[in-house]
């Protein structure tokens, strides 16, 4: 049972990560949302998507160990990419929730661009 849950937990970030990377293209974004692509850091979107693909490999290694996990991880990523390709071809609007996540990830500066621990605290400039 735990192995099945970890397998699903490994496949979900592969699908979302592949969709995030695919939605960086203007044509895919327009097909999914029906609106022009908003301004934002494309690098941040791709980095978050790639991070999710890395999470897939981590879950696969946790599930099956290093030997099989390093083989299963890329296979799950390929499966996630295939699912995104078919979804973009048949029903692009089904990726609308992922587009919302991508848009929020681009707006949240604390994700990668400006970590929350580097933000200035209101009491930092009291001594000046």
Structural domain spans, the chain: 2-118
pTM above 0.85, yes or no: no
Distance CA 92, CA 98 (A): 11
Q: Scanning the structure block, which residue is given the tokens 């290093």?
A: 66
Q: What SS3 class is residue 115?
A: coil
pLDDT at 4: 87
Residue corresponding to tokens 């791709």: 46
What's the number of CA atoms in the CB half-sphere (13 Å) around residue 2?
A: 4
Residue 119, CA atoms < 13 Å, CB-side half-sphere: 11
pLDDT tens-digit map of 38-95: 776 678 788 889 999 999 999 999 998 999 999 999 999 999 999 999 999 999 999 9
């Amino acid at each position: 049972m735990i192995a099945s849950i970890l397998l699903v937990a490994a496949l979900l970030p592969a699908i979302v990560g592949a969709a995030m990377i695919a939605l960086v293209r203007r044509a895919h974004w327009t097909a999914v949302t029906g609106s022009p692509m908003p301004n934002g850091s494309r690098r941040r979107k791709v980095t978050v998507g790639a991070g999710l693909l890395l999470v897939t490999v981590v879950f696969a290694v946790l599930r099956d160990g290093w030997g099989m996990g390093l083989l299963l991880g890329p296979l799950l990523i390929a499966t996630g990419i295939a699912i995104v390709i078919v979804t973009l071809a048949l029903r692009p609007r089904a990726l609308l929730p992922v587009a919302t996540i991508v848009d929020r990830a681009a707006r949240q500066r604390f994700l990668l661009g400006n970590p929350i621990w580097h933000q200035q605290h209101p009491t930092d400039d009291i001594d000046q």
